[in-house]
Amino acid sequence: MNNSAPSLAFGEKFKRWTPQEQIDYLKKLAASQNQALDEMQKDRDRLAVENRALHKQIVNAEDALHIQKGINTAAILKQNADVQEAGARIIELQAKLRETG
- Average pLDDT per 10 consecutive residues for the chain, totaling 101 residues: 76 95 96 98 98 98 98 98 96 92 69
CB-based burial, 3-34: b 16+ in 10 Å, e otherwise: eeeeeeeeeeeeeeeeeeeeeeeeeeeeeeee
3-state secondary structure 26-53: HHHHHHHHHHHHHHHHHHHHHHHHHHHH
DSSP readout, 13-28? HHHHS-HHHHHHHHHH
Question: pLDDT at position 5, please?
Answer: 75
pTM: 0.57
Residue 1's pLDDT is: 59
